[in-house]
Each structure stands twice: as C-alpha cells, then as structure tokens.
Amino acid sequence: MLESGQATTERVISESHLSRDNEGLVRAIGPLGLTAGVINIVVGGSIFVLPAALSSDLGTAAPLAYFVGAAVMALVTISFAAVARRTASSGGPYAYVERAFGTYPGFLSGLLTWLAGVFASAAVAAALVDSLSTIVPILDQPLARGALVVCIFIVLAAVNIVGVRAASGLSTATAFAKFTGLVLFVVLATRLVVPDNLAWEWPAGGEGLGRATVLVIFAFAGMEVPLCAGGEIRDPDRTVPRALALALVLVTVLYIAVQLVAQGVLGAEIASSKAPLADALARIGPTGYLLLLATGAVSMFGYLAGDILGMSRILFAFGRDRLLPRQLAAVHPVTRAPHIAVLVHAVAATCLAISGTFKLLAPIASVAILLLYIACCAAAFKLQRQPAKTGQRASVIAMLVPLFAIVALVWVLGHSTRSEFLAVGVVLLLGSVLFMIVRRRNR
C-alpha cells in the first residue's frame, strides 16, 4: 500500500537491493536514467511538426510560446518534485493524488494518465510505421503494417520484462540518439538561416498566444510517465528534483533552437509545412531528408520504450491496491519486473495501433494532461503542509509554487474547446462507473 505522510524514504545502497515499500521492485533508476527517461518521453514526435503549428498561431513570434510554456512547466516541475519526494511508490500521478485526496480521485488521475499514455503510444507506433513506409512501400499494406507493429511491441515488452535496468538503459540510449539528432539538425541547418526570416513581430492579441501555449504544454508534457516507476527510482529525494530540473532546461533550449532554425530557413513557408524540420534540412540534399527521417524514427521508438516503462507501472499500482485485478501487481520472480502489467499495456497499445482508433482520444489529450497536472499540483500543496522526513514543513514560498502553477494551468486550460471538455467528462464518467463496480466486487 502507499506510504503514509510521515513515512521515511529509505535510501537504497545497492542496485540489486529490493525497494523497501513492499512492492518487490528494484530501485535501479538513478539521476542520469531518470533525466534521460523524461527527455525520451517529452521529446517525442511533436517537435517535428510543432514549429509549423506555432508559426501558424503566432507568426515570427512563435518562440515566445516556448518561454511562456517553459515558465508554466517550471512551476509544475517544482510541484512534481515536491510531491514525488513524499511519495516513493510506483504509480506517479495516481500515487500522488491518492495519497493527498483519497482513493477515488487517485484512481481517476491514474486512469487518465494510463489512457493518455496507451493511446499516445498507439499513435506514435502507427506514425513510426507510416514514416518507415516512405522508404519501404510494402509497409503500406495492412498485413505488413500490422506485423511490424506487433514486432515493435514484442521487442519493447521483452526488454521491459528482462528488467528495469534493461528498460532504463534502452530509454537512455534512444534519448541520447534523438537529442543528438536534433542537435545535429540545428548545427547543419543553421548555415541556411536567412536573418530576415527571424524579424520579430509581436502577436496582435493574447488568444493566439494562449492556444499556442496549449500546444507547447502538450509538447512539454510527459514528465509524469517516468515518475510512474517511483518504486524503482534510487534515492528519490535527490534524484527526482535534479532529473526534472535538468530535463526541463535541456528540452527548453533544444525546442527554442529548433524553432528558430526551422523558422529562419523556411520563413513564411513554415506555417504551411507538414514536416518543417525535414523540409528545412532537405535543402542541403537527400541526405538531410534521410537524417531527419532516421531521427524521427529513433525519437518515436524511444518514446514507445519510455512509455511502456512508465505506463505499465500505473496498471501495476492499480493491481497492487486492488482497484483492478490483483494479477496486474505480479512481479517476475527472476527479473523483478511487473511482467503482467507490461504485457497488458503492450497488447492494448498494439491493438489500438493496428486499428488506428487514436483519433477518438486525440481531442481530449491536452485537456486531460492539464487537469492531471492541476490535480498533482493540488496534491503537492496539501502534502507539503505535512512534515517531511526531516520533521520540517516546507517554506511558504515552496507551498505557494503549486498554487501559482494551478493558476497558470487554468489560464492555459481556458483556451481549450467545449468539445474537449465534454470528451474528458465522458472519460471521467466511465472511469467512475468502473471504479464503483470494482470496489463493490472487492467488498
């Protein structure tokens, strides 16, 4: 079960030592692994199309959205670090909200987290296969496409079942590869930049900035996924704050650099481009296009690797707390990985990727994430009022940060549409019905 507010987080002195919260998992994820895991999830496929979308909303002032989004996410990151330090078990947002407000709100937070993750994972897998079909035409055929999707998730599931060290290692490797690829894009395309294309013109009103910030928040979202493996993070008091802060800084710098270079190369054409990074680098020849294609493929595969590592822990936590079948909390006797939860997540994502039903969830993804962040910030505010392991309460400034984050998130949320809110409401209603059925059965 989840630890109480006064529980002391045990330091694990060996990677082979089992975590001491009775989950039976191994605390093997250190600062580098967690930082890479966050970057791996956050820097997904969106950065390859985001520059065009932001330029469409803000014109040449598109980089402004990154600064606003980074400021909001900095407040959210501090709040996540604070609540993660007081909740060292697996489950991420589910564990945070459950500990602060009870089982039902925690269940809904976890359900939204997993649903967003599994549908996003399916969409990214489908996009990965589609991108590869441009050089392997047979992948346009349904049978070949489905076979590759199955193979992708079999590989990812196998790596995760081998153990958290292997899964974290794969996440670290792909994060390094995608980060390096995007940096290489910046270096190669910089010489093609036309200075006049970077002339700054402020947006006429705040509506465009608000909607662009929604897109940026979506592009920055994902830190909660690696934190779902909280029961496998080594020394969370030190690892979580450092990893989240470093990841946010690196991602922000990378995003702004990519935006400026793509905008500087394409000029006004960027707003109508479907693949702005590829179009920009294609101007140096076919090699540039292939480089971006490979970088995009690695980025999407890395996202899938990080997603299955984090999202399977949500199912593990549900099984552990008997909100879903207890079999989901099973731990492999040799590798100590939650193998049943990994398989269930992989099968669900595979089916969705083959059927292509992600479009049904796409309109609610941003609203779901924003609501989830608001709930986690509220949990951080409440839990910080309780003494930490040192016996001291958080400072007034530290307690105000989650409140500032909530205000900022509500402002961003206000630029979402009515249909997006309605879709989230339907998901919460279905989740509530599921919660009551399972709870009654347990009784």
Average pLDDT value for residue range 283-287: 80
Q: What is the pLDDT of residue 256?
A: 92
Sequence-ordered list of residues with C-beta below 8 angstroms from that of 252, at least 6 positions apart, any chain: 66, 70
Question: Which tokens is 357 given?
Answer: 């039903």
Average pLDDT value for residue range 228-242: 69
Burial of 198: CB neighbours in 10 Å, binned 0-12, 13-18, 19+: middle
76, part of any domain: yes
Instruction: State if pTM tops 0.85.
Output: no
172, part of any domain: yes
Burial of 351: CB neighbours in 10 Å, binned 0-12, 13-18, 19+: middle
Are residues 91 and 108 in contact, defined by beta-carbon separation less than 8 angstroms? Answer: no
* Domain housing 98: 31-442
Q: Which of 198, 203, 248, 216 is nearest to 65 (CA)?
A: 216
pLDDT (tens digit per residue) in 343-395: 999 998 898 888 864 455 555 677 888 888 899 899 888 887 766 555 555 66
Are residues 266 and 276 in contact, defined by beta-carbon separation less than 8 angstroms? Answer: yes
pLDDT (tens digit per residue) in 122-162: 878 887 887 788 778 898 888 998 999 999 999 988 888 88
pLDDT (tens digit per residue) in 406-429: 999 999 888 888 888 887 788 788
20, part of any domain: no
Dist. CA 44–CA 296, nearest whole Å: 8
CATH number at residue 181: 1.20.1740.10
Q: Is 11 helix (H, G, I), strand (E, B) or coil?
A: coil
For the chain, the domain total comes to 1
Burial of 102: CB neighbours in 10 Å, binned 0-12, 13-18, 19+: exposed
What is the rounded average pLDDT for all residues in the chain? 78
Q: Is 324 helix (H, G, I), strand (E, B) or coil?
A: coil
275, part of any domain: yes
231-245, 266-280, 363-377: range with lowest mean pLDDT: 231-245
201, part of any domain: yes
With a cut of 60, say whether residue 252 has pLDDT above it.
yes
pLDDT (tens digit per residue) in 83-122: 776 665 655 677 788 888 988 888 888 888 887 778 778 8
80, part of any domain: yes
Report, in this order, helix, strand and coil percent for the chain, each rounded to 5. 75, 0, 25
23, part of any domain: no
151, part of any domain: yes
Residue with tokens 């790596």: 159
Q: Is 323 helix (H, G, I), strand (E, B) or coil?
A: coil
